[in-house]
Amino acid sequence: MIRNWMAGAALALAAMPGAALAQDGAKLDCVATSSTPDFKAQVGAAMAGAGDAASRDALFKQLGTIVDACVTQHGIADENKATYFDYSLARISREWLVGAIAKSKLQASVVDKALDFGPRGANPDLTGEMSDEQIGKIVGAYIDAGIDIETVDETVWEKVGAYAAATSIYWIKRKSLPY
């Protein structure tokens, strides 16, 4: 009897980290999964420069409503709310920009590699202007990938820049969140 109880307790303890990770994943996914594809496209396009200030403000208010619902649903602490909003905005933008860049036959992963973005990457802060060196790394990486950069439209480069900025914010905010 005690052996069965101990085995059950061991199994329950072993399952806890997985359950906690699943809950954390649900927190991180909530805004993205609660947003419609059309809304995500509008946010992504706005982050790439589309629309005017009033339309972007309306989108951010709508995103704030979705974030508030997820904060309530998942019990996210008040001190993490602003970081969670920024993370969610960057995540939605980043995911849309990956597709928008791919339509132009470019891969966003080239930017990730060039600027060392990722869970274990340096994740440089691009919340301000990108440096000439960073731009050079991106352009050089595309050249190395066989892209004739002279044929890439300026609007595509704007999306690549927006992707780099969104990815920077995504990883910085993701690492700042406690889950």
Q: What is the per-residue pLDDT across 35-58, written as a single tens digit (0 to 9) for each?
A: 999 999 999 999 988 999 999 999
Q: How far is CA 88 from CA 53, 71, 101, 134, 156, in A?
A: 20, 11, 20, 24, 23
State pLDDT tens for residues 121-179: 999 999 888 999 999 999 999 999 999 999 999 999 999 999 999 999 999 999 999 98
State pLDDT tens for residues 63-113: 999 999 999 999 999 999 999 999 999 999 999 999 999 999 999 999 999
The predicted structure's pLDDT at residue 24:
66
The predicted structure's pLDDT at residue 128:
87
**Directed axis angle between helix 108-115 and helix 81-102, to 10°?**
130
The predicted structure's pLDDT at residue 16:
35
